[in-house]
């Protein structure tokens, strides 16, 4: 399956083109993100912080801004509209372009290579000595350029999804860093490319005592005394399937539903009308909020879920977004780091099992924290 995801021939490169800069000394990683919600940018910022803390010179760029003719903005708007309003449409796109399968499939390379000239110019301008894609379109771009010999520095992909979809995979990339052993094994099977398991990358505040937790607990107690706070995540764009109905279910069962509406003002207004629910817009103190909550109800297996695992907060997958959200939520449950609730009664049962100190809660927390094995940037910078 070496080139099944790209439609290109196998890469042919000289030894000089695949040799990384020697470890030690100051490195200049170029981290390629994408402003699709906030997850990829959050990861890119954390990788850059880690690199800078070790004395390296990171640079972060948005691959969507490298696309010409406003295509990046159009791609972002169409994806945002589909996940918010037409999830069935995104499910079709995911099935055609991203989900694995045999036989000829559409490739992301034709779109990605439109950014080729801008990326090669950026690499030269920043004097980057390694490129680190954290978005699948960026991985297609770097793989394509490495195959063609137009990118002369190594590309190390940080594959930040639990479920590996095919647009992450390009045989031209030099190495993959993955969240789990299963993801790394899948990359090696598909591409024959070196892949290692590093676990996720979150800011240190999520794995340390959170000073803001006490303020959140006071707020929850003032709103609904005696009701444990259950977070409902809708991502930066506030994309979720009937979160108001889920909030009503939880409130009726004695919980305080706290809905993270991101930057979706309409969603916040709708949830605010649910008796017993608390609707939040963009939250700056996520470590404190997660530390003060009882559990997270997740629909995307994205960065909020990963941050919850780091904070020791149990995660329950429920009503996942179509496409990679559904696959990711299922993969998390298969790994034993979260529960998966197929319906409302199952959601309430899962919450009831996760009482403080219960064996189920202790196991979920331990499994989630065990994912955090190492520092992805240590593999990039060699230090």
For the domain 207-370, what is the CATH code?
3.40.50.2000
pLDDT for the residue 322:
84
Host H or E run for residue 316 = strand 315-318
- Strand, coil or helix: 159: strand
- pLDDT tens-digit series, residues 43-93: 999 999 999 999 999 999 999 999 998 888 888 787 777 766 666 666 666
- Count other C-beta atoms under 10 Å from residue 9's C-beta: 10
- Gap between the Cα atoms of 166 and 105, Å rounded: 10
pLDDT for the residue 74:
81
- pLDDT tens-digit series, residues 220-257: 999 999 999 999 998 887 888 899 999 999 999 999 99
pTM for this prediction = 0.89
Compute the C-alpha angle 99/240/280, nearest 5°: 140
Name the DSSP letter for residue 171: T
- Pairing, β 256-260 against β 175-178: unpaired
pLDDT for the residue 226:
95
Name the DSSP letter for residue 140: H
* Percent of the chain clearing pLDDT 70 (strictly above): 86
Domain segments of the chain as ranges: 15-197, 207-370
- Gap between the Cα atoms of 229 and 221, Å rounded: 9
Q: How far is CA 291 from CA 154, 213, 347, in A?
A: 39, 6, 21
Query: What radius of gyration do the chain's Cα atoms show?
Result: 21
Do 15-197 and 207-370 come out as alike in CATH topology?
yes
Beta bridge pairs of residue 195:
176
Q: Which CATH architecture has domain 15-197?
A: 3-Layer(aba) Sandwich (3.40)
- Gap between the Cα atoms of 275 and 288, Å rounded: 24
């Amino acid at each position: 399956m070496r080139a099944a995801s790209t439609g290109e021939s196998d890469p042919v490169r000289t030894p000089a083109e695949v040799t990384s800069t020697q470890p030690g000394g100051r490195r200049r990683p170029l981290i390629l993100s994408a402003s699709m919600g906030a997850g990829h940018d959050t990861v890119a910022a954390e990788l850059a912080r880690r690199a800078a803390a070790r004395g390296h010179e990171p640079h972060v760029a948005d691959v969507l801004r490298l696309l010409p003719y406003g295509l990046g903005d159009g791609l972002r708007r169409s994806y945002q509209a589909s996940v918010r309003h037409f999830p069935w449409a995104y499910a079709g796109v995911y099935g055609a372009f991203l989900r694995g399968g045999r036989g000829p499939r559409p490739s992301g390379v034709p779109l990605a290579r439109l950014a080729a000239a801008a990326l090669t110019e950026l690499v030269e301008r920043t004097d980057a000595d390694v490129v680190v894609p954290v978005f699948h379109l960026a991985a297609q771009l770097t793989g394509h350029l490495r195959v063609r010999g137009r990118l002369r520095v190594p590309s190390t992909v940080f594959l930040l999804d639990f479920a590996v979809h095919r647009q992450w995979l390009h045989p031209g990339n030099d190495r993959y860093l993955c969240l789990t052993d299963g993801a790394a094994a899948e990359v090696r099977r598909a591409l024959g490319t070196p892949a290692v398991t590093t676990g996720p990358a979150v800011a240190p505040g999520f794995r340390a005592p959170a000073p803001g937790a006490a303020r959140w607990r006071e707020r929850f107690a003032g709103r609904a005394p005696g009701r444990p706070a259950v977070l409902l995540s809708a991502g930066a764009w506030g994309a979720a399937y009937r979160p108001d109905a889920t909030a009503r279910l939880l409130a009726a069962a004695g919980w305080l539903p706290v809905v993270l509406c991101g930057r979706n003002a309409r969603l916040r207004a709708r949830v605010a009308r649910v008796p017993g629910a608390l609707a939040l817009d963009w939250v700056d103190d996520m470590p404190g909020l997660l530390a003060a909550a009882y559990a997270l109800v997740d629909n995307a297996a994205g960065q909020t879920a990963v941050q919850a695992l780091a904070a020791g907060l149990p995660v329950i997958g429920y009503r996942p977004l179509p496409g990679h959200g559904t696959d990711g939520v299922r993969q998390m449950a298969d790994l034993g780091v979260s529960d998966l609730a197929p319906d409302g009664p199952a959601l309430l049962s899962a919450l009831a099992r996760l009482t403080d100190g219960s064996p189920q809660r202790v196991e979920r927390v331990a499994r989630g924290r065990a994912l955090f094995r190492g520092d992805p940037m240590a593999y990039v910078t060699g230090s």
